[in-house]
Structure 1
Amino acid sequence: MSAMKILMITGDFVEDYENMVPFQALIACGHQVDAVCPGKQRGDTIATCIHDFEGDQTYSEKRGHNFVLNADFAGLDAADYDALYLPGGRAPEYLRLNPQVLELIRAFFSANKAVASICHGPQLLTAADVIRGKQVSAYPACEPEIRMAGADYVSLEMDQAITDGKLVTAPAWPAHPQLLQQFMALL
């Protein structure tokens, strides 16, 4: 597999594992991963959070690490990248309000490039209106909006992922091995 250039759109209170693990794993496999956040520049940090499944009706949330961005959001062009990765956590709920983020996502889909998204990351896909007719997994709380966006929500175990065309999705960080394996198969 030749080295690919991957864009990661992330932000404050992204899920720590869903940001850090794929970022490091893809780099370890020889790919270039540019982690960006609207309103921030290379060298700035974002705050992460850790979501855990501790037997409650939903996940718990704890403060995670500071993650250093390695590229600038300003001036991005999807044509400069081979693939897109969208982590989950709380960041997607506000990133989806940014028109530039949505335009970037649409550009990746229009060019039929590989896209991976996990947990609440598919909230960005629903806002960009790019999943109509696709099979999509996400954290179960995202099911209603995925269905309203015209996609077929696929309920998976937390350690599973699904590929539909050039899109790979998964419900949460325990699915990293499956998500990354399927994403790298598309690269």
Structure 2
Amino acid sequence: MSKVLIIAGDFSETLEVFYPYERLREEGYEPVIAAPTQKRLQFVVHDFEPGYETFTEKLGHGWPADVALADVDPSEYVALVVPGGRAPEYLRNNPDVKRIVAHFFGADAPVAVTCHGPIILAKAGVLAGRTVSGFPEIAPDVEAGGGTYQNSEALVDGALVSARAWNDNGPWFREFIKVLREKAPLA
């Protein structure tokens, strides 16, 4: 079975982890969650509620990481998924995350990223010449990382497919599955 790596951590957005996880399973791919350590992760739910200028955050589901980032051999995976939430704030500084992201971009392999996930790509130095979507407030981070920000529910730039947040899961992953089927079809 073809494996797809999902980089997550504590306070990754629940819907941005589980939607890709289940869609990949539905397609016949094997999703594997990598985190700083192999432990049970705590995800969160971000919601937009009246009276607040930004999203609110509540505890979401817990889920075990399958593998520690340091133990990931990215050549064993056909694609990469980078969810958002608050986890990207600290994951972007992890040297193994940078190593893994660089591998997938160097191989021109399918990469799906959403919400705050693009700040990981910016820190990994892979956005030069790329156009990416994400949560609108990260546009300066994308641009500082050499990329161009575009507000889109499903932006395809070669093998990179990005979106703003969990509200875009359907269009985002529809486009990613197209790229995945083309570049890493199941045998």
- Structure 1 and Structure 2 fold alike (TM over 0.5): yes
Q: CA deviation at 1:127?
A: 0.4
Alignment RMSD, CA only? 1.1
- 3-state SS in 2 of match to 1:74: helix
Give the whole-Å Cα distance in 1 for the aligned partners of 2:66 and 2:130. 32
Counterpart selection for 2:40 from 41, 45, 49: 45
Q: Deviations over 1:106-165 (max 9, x none)?
A: 011001100000000111000001011111000011011111112110013xxx110000
Structure 1 stretch displaced more, 167-176 or 21-30: 21-30
Secondary structure of 2:32's counterpart equals: strand
1:90 maps to a residue whose letter is R
Task: Tell me, in whole angstroms, the C-alpha distance in 2 between the residues paired with 1:30 and 1:171.
Answer: 26
TM-score (norm 1): 0.92
Aligned to 2:79: 83
Quick one: distance in 2 between partners of 1:132 and 1:67? 34
Asked if 1 retains the 8 angstrom alpha-carbon contact of 2:161 and 2:176, the reply is yes
User: By percentage of residues, which structure has more helix?
Assistant: 2
SS of residue in 1 equivalent to 2:178: helix
State the identity %: 39
2:178 corresponds to which residue?
Answer: 185
Aligned length: 179
- What's the CA shift for 1:25? 1.6
Listed as ranges, the gaps of 5+ residues in structure 2 are 181-187
Report the Cα distance in structure 2 between the residues aligned to 1:165 and 1:182, rounded to whole angstroms.
Answer: 11
Instruction: Give deviations 1:19-47, integer Å, cap 9, x for gaps.
Output: 11111121122111110101x22xx2100
Task: Give 1:14's aligned residue.
Answer: 12
1:139 aligns with 2:135: yes
CA distance in 2, matches of 1:110, 1:6: 16
> Residue 5 of structure 1: CA displacement?
1.5
Give the partner amino acid of 1:125. Answer: L
Q: CA deviation at 1:94?
A: 0.3
* Moved beyond 2 Å, runs of 4+: 70-75
Please give the residue correspondences for 1:98-117 in structure 2 after superposition, counting only pairs within 5 Å: 98-117=94-113
Supply the AA of the counterpart residue of 1:179: W
Superimposed CA distance per residue, residues 52-74 of structure 1 (whole angstroms, 9 cap, x where no aligned partner): 11132111111111112233433
The TM-score normalised by the length of structure 2 is: 0.92
CA contact (8 A) 2:69 2:97 kept: no
